[in-house]
């Protein structure tokens, strides 16, 4: 056990029974759509300590956070590469990584105040800090038990910095050594968001008006740019950082839009009305888009019931609609070699499938059915827990990015997609936001 800065964790390596079985399963070469390997919850979740938000990738591993552990698995075999145990409960994570460094935040005395930066390749911790100054006590806006009615803590990394923003404050830290660069206090805001990558964006909605700020890597104390929304318009989430694409809402008629900002100066470029048939989900993984929404280049892809639609971010016009199973949601997850890959979710009776769609026209190139043998587990992840679909290194992965119910829950299902090696959904955004 290692202890420093108030955080203790265990570091373990090597194979256990589960990883050995997974490795053997991976060597068999499952048929297309079959299970390559799986990972179950490594700890027993309890009420108030069951958040499993946080998924990151290196070239050959997937790193998964659970309520009080973080574990890296080999993408090909599921073998456990490293793991550490948190001293307290996980409460927030960065939706992305910067140069293989991610940030998790744990509770201290019931408040979400202890950010820790760690290396995705080794599991080694770089630093742990506290958002509270000596003698300062955290208010309800930093206590997860009170978050239902408050803007909760959001985290993002980019440009060598970590940004943490919450209802009444915001701080930035240098990723390399944890030095605090900025600290801001403000009146309570109803919504906050953060997204990283080539741009490091912070969004707040206070007093009925939204604002987005871009951190300046050359001087984090001076903003690169700031966009202030029209009165009565607030920012619900950040779908992409390059280009900056926001989900914005109007107080007057409760309608939503996509607002596209110019990357150079943050000026509003255009708005795209929110479609009645869209099925845009969680935006918690800031800068990764929302589940059901994908930004790739100058195109926005969005899920709907039985369809996926494409829109031009340059003009705001609809480009095409691809129709799939009429009763199931089709989530766009990656664009590779001119093809959009969508995941059509499982039902109680049918397994899910991947559709490969020509990105220029919306026409079906081919489909890949997932194995009937994993239907129940696939459907359980989608219906009981919150699953995020990814594509990485020849594997399709469903990853639990919500709440866990028991130690028997699957946190990862890695599925062979049939010899293709499409990019992870993160690659559609700049390298690598409300609960779903």
| Mean pLDDT of the chain, nearest integer | 85
Mean pLDDT of 392-412: 87
Domain count, the chain: 1
Quote the CA–CA distance of 368 and 346 in Å, as a whole number.
Answer: 13
Under the phi-then-psi rule, with left for phi > 0, alpha for psi from -120 to 50, and beta for the rest, what region is 42? alpha
Q: Is residue 309 part of a domain?
A: yes
Mean pLDDT of 33-44: 90
Domain that holds residue 309: 2-428
pLDDT band at 54 (very low <50, low <70, confident <90, very high): very high
Residue 350 is assigned to a structural domain of this protein: yes
Confidence class for position 17, pLDDT limits 50, 70, 90 = very low
When pLDDT is cut at 50, 70 and 90, the band that residue 2 belongs to is very low
Bigger pLDDT: 26 vs 106:
106
Position 272 in a domain:
yes
Q: Does residue 428 register a pLDDT over 80?
A: no
Note whether residue 435 is domain-resident.
no
pLDDT of residue 284 exceeding 70, the answer is: no
Tokens of 115: 């950010």
Is 436 inside any structural domain? no
- Left if phi > 0, otherwise alpha if psi is -120 to 50, otherwise beta: which for 78? left
Task: Give the residue, 226 or 26, on which the prediction is more confident.
Answer: 226
Q: Is residue 267 in a domain?
A: yes
CB 283 within 8 A of CB 307: no
Q: In angstroms, rounded to a whole number, what is the distance separating the alpha carbons of residues 58 and 43?
A: 23
Q: Is residue 433 part of a domain?
A: no
Q: CATH number for the domain including 115?
A: 2.130.10.10
pLDDT of residue 288: 56
pLDDT score, position 425: 39
Q: Which tens digits make up the pLDDT trace of 323-340? A: 999 989 999 999 988 999
Q: What is the mean pLDDT of residues 97-101?
A: 96
Q: What is the pLDDT of residues 76-86, one digit of tens each?
A: 999 999 999 99
**Confidence band for 20, pLDDT divided at 50, 70 and 90:** very low
| pLDDT at position 44 | 78
pLDDT at 51: 85
Whether 434 is covered by a domain: the verdict is: no
Q: Is residue 386 reached through a cis peptide bond, with omega within 30 degrees of 0 on the bond before it?
A: no
Question: What is the mean pLDDT of the segment spanning 204-213?
Answer: 90
Torsion sign, CA atoms 97, 176, 87, 76: positive
- How far is residue 393's CA from residue 358's CA, in Å, rounded to a whole number? 21
């Amino acid at each position: 056990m290692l202890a420093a800065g108030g955080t203790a964790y265990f570091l373990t390596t090597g194979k256990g029974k589960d990883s050995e079985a997974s490795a053997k399963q991976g060597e068999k070469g499952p048929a297309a759509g079959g299970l390559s390997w799986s990972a179950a919850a490594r700890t027993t979740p309890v009420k108030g300590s069951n958040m499993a938000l946080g998924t990151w990738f290196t070239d050959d591993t997937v790193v998964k956070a659970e309520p009080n552990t973080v574990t890296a698995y080999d993408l090909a075999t599921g073998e456990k590469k490293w793991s550490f145990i948190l001293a307290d409960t996980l409460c927030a994570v960065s939706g992305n990584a910067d140069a293989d460094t991610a940030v998790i935040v744990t509770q201290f005395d019931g408040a979400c105040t202890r950010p820790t930066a760690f290396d995705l390749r080794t599991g080694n911790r770089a630093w742990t800090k506290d958002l509270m100054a000596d003698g300062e006590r955290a208010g309800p806006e930093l206590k997860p038990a009170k978050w239902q009615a408050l803007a909760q803590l959001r985290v993002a990394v980019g440009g060598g910095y970590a940004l943490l923003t919450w209802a009444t404050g915001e701080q930035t830290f240098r990723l390399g050594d944890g030095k605090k660069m900025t600290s801001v206090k403000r009146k309570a805001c109803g919504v906050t968001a953060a997204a990283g990558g080539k741009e490091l964006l912070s969004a707040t909605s206070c007093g009925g008006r939204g604002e987005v700020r871009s951190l300046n890597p050359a001087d984090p104390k001076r903003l690169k740019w700031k966009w202030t929304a029209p009165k009565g318009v607030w920012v619900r989430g950040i779908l992409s950082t390059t280009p900056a694409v926001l989900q914005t809402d109007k107080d007057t008629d409760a309608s939503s839009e996509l607002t596209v900002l110019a990357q150079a100066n943050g000026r509003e470029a255009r708005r795209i009305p929110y479609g009645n048939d869209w099925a845009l989900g969680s935006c918690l993984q800031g800068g990764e888009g929302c589940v059901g929404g994908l930004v790739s280049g100058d195109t926005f892809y969005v899920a709907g019931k039985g369809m996926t639609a494409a829109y031009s971010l340059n003009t705001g016009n609809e480009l095409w609609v691809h129709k799939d199973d009429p009763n199931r949601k089709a989530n766009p997850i990656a664009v590779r070699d001119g093809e959009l890959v969508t995941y059509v979710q499982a039902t109680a009776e049918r397994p899910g499938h991947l559709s490969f769609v020509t990105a220029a026209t919306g026409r079906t190139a081919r489909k890949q059915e997932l194995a009937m043998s994993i239907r129940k587990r696939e459907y359980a992840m989608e219906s009981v827990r919150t699953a995020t679909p990814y594509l990485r290194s020849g594997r399709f992965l469903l990853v639990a990015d919500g709440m866990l119910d028991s130690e028997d829950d699957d946190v990862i299902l890695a599925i062979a997609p049939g010899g293709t090696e499409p990019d992870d959904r993160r690659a559609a955004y700049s390298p690598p936001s409300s609960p779903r």
